[in-house]
Amino acid sequence: MSITVLLADPRADSRRDLEIMLSRDREVSVVGGAHDRRDTIDLTRQLRPNIVILDGALWSGDSQSIIGEIAEASPDSATIVILDNADLELMRRLIRAGARDCLMRPVSSEDLLSAVRHVSQMTAKQRDVGTQATDTNRSRGEVIAIYSPQGGAGKSMLSANLAVALAKASGEGGKPPRVALVDLNLQFGDIDLMLNLSPQNTIAGLAQKGHGGIDAELLEQYLTQHPESGLKVLVAPSTPQYAESITVYTVEQVVETLRENYDIIIVDTPSQLQDTTLAVLDAAKTVLLLTSLDLLALHKTRTALEMLRQLYPPEKIQPVLNRANSDVGISLADVENVLGVKMKSRIPSDGRIVVRSINEGKPFVIYDAGTPIAKEINRLALEILGLEAPASEEPTKNGGGSFLKKMFAK
């Protein structure tokens, strides 16, 4: 089946060069060329191309609205943007606006054709999935992102133990839910160590193998099972240099494919708000925003909370307080006053249990299930599953409110 392409570029010589590069693949057919914004929208509506290749020189300042206009003119048309400069912030805005890929000039014919084939396959799969979901009325898996703007907040600890707790819990009808865990800390992920796994495959290998598209059969080959819980884990790359090979599209395909086959997907995200992180936050039903009882963490958490509330509905962002009973002069009430929101969960501090759990690769929700920290994470798992859960234990109340009010006063 031919992939139809509309070239939107104000320069005739540039459109001609792109058409020559695309002509090297007989399955790609250029159906038209647009020289300005109005022409682009009119031809998109008329021709309904599979892909619109949009040059950055075509817009003046407002780069995002034209992508929305293309989608409105032809909802099944995907947009690939070509930029003259590697502006990461602009690329992030374009991706969020709906662009499916961004290429930098000079662009080779190999890179251009690869992007066209990849985007075409991905959009076709998404249409098929949407049709199947409509036909079968099948519910899709729930994505839960674990995020903190502060390094060392305990994201991986919470991700690993919450995922294991969910996999071990009895869901609807007494049957355990199918749970997958994705380690998106692409440079220094360590979920495999925390769960004592010996993975044969990682997300880096999946990105290379799945360049032409990722389906359920391929993805399963790259998941590692946690024997004690049945949890399936997609492990981070073994070394940092492989991180750059994982694109936002790889992450999107992984998440969407997991949603088709698993009930709950936990994603351990990095602290940096890069494009792969934003892709997960977009797909997530819930973002557990982790913070702790220290000034720097609260400052960063408040900033992140304000930003995330501009992007998503308030109920999507659920703050979680880690080390909630630490005696550091800051109380739960102080934290909630500063952030302006109630905590979804209050995880008590237990350094001895956590460190031993990490060193031995034994999740404490299984091996130290009677401890307060394990009880709280198991309680959170039951709440996520919509099951009756015991009330969260109240942490020790500490002072410090007046100090925080001064520090965070505007």
pLDDT of residue 118: 84
Dihedral over Cα of 162, 165, 167, 170: its sign: negative
What is the 8-class DSSP label of residue 241?
G
Q: Which two tokens stand for residue 320?
A: 């979680």
Average pLDDT, the chain: 85
Residue 334 CA to residue 324 CA, distance in Å, equals: 12
Given a cut of 90, whether residue 18 has pLDDT beyond it is yes
At 135 the pLDDT is 42
Of the candidate ranges 19-23, 118-122, 381-385, the one whose mean pLDDT is the lowest: 118-122
Sheet holding 232-234, edge to edge: 224-225, 232-234, 179-183, 264-268, 142-147, 286-292, 317-322, 345-347
Q: How far apart are CA 312 and CA 345, in angstroms?
A: 20
- For the ranges 87-101, 247-261, 267-281, the lowest mean pLDDT is seen at 87-101
> What pLDDT score was predicted for residue 136?
44
Give the model confidence (pLDDT) of 276-307 as tens digits: 898 899 999 999 999 988 888 888 888 888 88
Q: How far apart are CA 122 and CA 124, in angstroms?
A: 5
| CA 87/CA 64 separation, integer angstroms | 14
Cα separations in angstroms, 4 against 31, 91, 113, 177, 253: 6, 24, 12, 41, 22
Residue 232, SS3 per DSSP: strand
Residue 225 near residue 232 (C-beta atoms within 8 A) = yes
Average pLDDT over every residue of 114-136: 66
In order of start, what are the domains of the chain with their CATH numbers? 3-105 (3.40.50.2300), 142-397 (3.40.50.300)
pLDDT at 400 over 60: no
Q: In Å, how far are 170, 186, 282 from 149, measured between CA atoms?
A: 32, 16, 17
SS3 291: strand
Do the strands 3-8 and 224-225 form a parallel or antiparallel pair, or are they unpaired? unpaired
The pLDDT value recorded for residue 133 is: 44
Is residue 103 within 8 A of residue 249, CB to CB? The reply is: no
- pLDDT of amino acid 223: 95
Task: Give the separation between CA 177 and CA 56, rounded to whole angstroms.
Answer: 46
What was the pLDDT predicted at 127?
60
Contacts of 284 (CB under 8 A, 6+ apart): 143, 144, 145, 267, 316
Task: Average the pLDDT over each of 13-17, 56-60, 161-165, 315-319 and give the range with the smallest value.
Answer: 56-60
Instruction: Give me the mean pLDDT over the 236-244 stretch.
Output: 87
Name the percent of the chain lying above pLDDT 70.
87
Structure tokens at 256: 């969407």
Q: Is there a contact between 258 and 182 (Cβ–Cβ < 8 Å)?
A: yes
- Is residue 53 scored above 90 in pLDDT? yes
Q: Are 194 and 228 in contact (CB under 8 A)?
A: no
List all residues 6 or more positions away from 203 whose beta carbon is below 8 Å from its beta carbon: 182, 183, 186, 222, 234, 235, 236, 237, 246, 250, 254
What's the pLDDT at 4? Answer: 94
Q: Which of 157-171, 281-295, 388-402 has the lowest mean pLDDT?
A: 388-402
- CB 230 within 8 Å of CB 176: yes
